[in-house]
Amino acid sequence: MATARTARTVVAAALAAGLTVTALAAPALAADPAAPAAPAAAKKDHAATRAALQAAVDAGVPGAVAQARADGRSWTGTAGERGGDDRFRVGSITKTFTATVLLQLQAEGRLDLDDPVEKWLPGVVRGHGHDGRKVTVRQLLNHTSGIYNVTADPGFQEKVFGPAFLQHRYDRWTPRQLVAVAMEHAPDFAPGTSWNYSNTNYVLAGMVIEKVTGRPYGKAVENRIIKPLKLRATTVPGTDPTMPNPSSPAYSTLGGGPGAPVHDVSELSPTIAHAAGEMISDSRDLQTFYRALLQGRLLPKDGLREMTTAVDLSEQLPGAGYGLGLMKQKLSCGKEVWGHGGGIHGSLSEAYATRDGRHSLAANINADWTGDTQAILEGEFCGTLPKPVK
């Protein structure tokens, strides 16, 4: 869903790190904007991307994997204990899949993104100032709803992300239970007046899909995206806590930070994330998805235009914006990329592409207390070498 660690600010952490279902506030290595760019030849052989993967391992990450496609060619790099075909939990990258389905349903005339949430989920968004009659589906998707973030709730954090996780890792949560936790808190702001990343928004978005289609939201993702694009490594696990093969273990200190005991957290109940962050994929499939999306193969032109109409977040992070389940970043070299990041226990991911979809990258590290995924983006798209690990 979304962790609060990865890039240069809380915004980058919420977006680039995808804001996993966690709120782990661990220090992150940051790509050095002033670091020398690699020469053109090095960019072609992905030297800076390789260096960023190795830097993550040098910083204490057990393993890192990345795959890039450009100019019709594919490249895969690994460092540490990782395989190039590893599958991993993608966290908040799930949000782009969820948003895509809702935009497809709008294109079919089955709902309008400007419908109030109350129309589809009567009585669900109520309590402590929350009012589903004043929140639209669109505001869920671009995080302008003001709805409190369930993963910020102290009790939820303690049970799901702290040491108590080891006793509760297989607990099952219903979407309504997740929303109910959020409803115990006041809204962050009046709908449409500001921006704040909230995983609750996408739990609700998944519930809207289920109300419109009459089936689990994951079935819509499978039938509308996974099967047509032949994403063979991509799954919506539902209640299955296991990881498919091939995959490497996911490791976490459960909020303890560097030096704390490390735990294998590969198995967990995906229900803690639902449509905000439960999916599993690999680097190849994620690139296929984002390339197809940005090249107009999943949405009509109007739908893609709506998806890429972004809330301006440049005050928090220069050049950043958040559309409908899709983030825009302007990298240090001036290049603009679109995609999403994701973090969940023991897994931090990035999946981005240029607006034309011709150059793409997907990467993952199997730890959540250190390592700089933003540096991998900078390395691939800008040829920027990572800051040396001290």
By annotation, the residues acting in catalysis are 92
DSSP string, 265-283: -----GGGTGGGT--EEEH
Q: Which of 103, 104, 102, 46 is nearest to 78 (CA)?
A: 46
What is the sign, positive or negative, of the torsion defined by CA atoms of 67, 231, 102, 356? positive
Q: Are 366 and 347 in contact (CB under 8 A)?
A: yes
Task: Find out whether 7 and 30 touch, Cβ atoms under 8 Å.
Answer: yes
The dihedral sign for the CA sequence 135, 137, 140, 143: negative
Let me know: does 187 contact 147? Beta carbons within 8 Å: yes
Q: Which SS3 state, helix, strand or coil, does residue 222 take? A: helix
β partners of residue 353: 338, 360
As a whole number of angstroms, the distance between CA 363 and CA 287 comes to: 10
CA dist 137 and 220 (Å) reads 17
Place of tokens 């991998």: 376
User: Residue 281 contacts by C-beta under 8 Å, 6 or more apart in sequence?
Assistant: 87, 88, 90, 93, 231, 233, 234, 235, 289
Beta strand 280-282 with 347-354: parallel, antiparallel or unpaired? Answer: unpaired
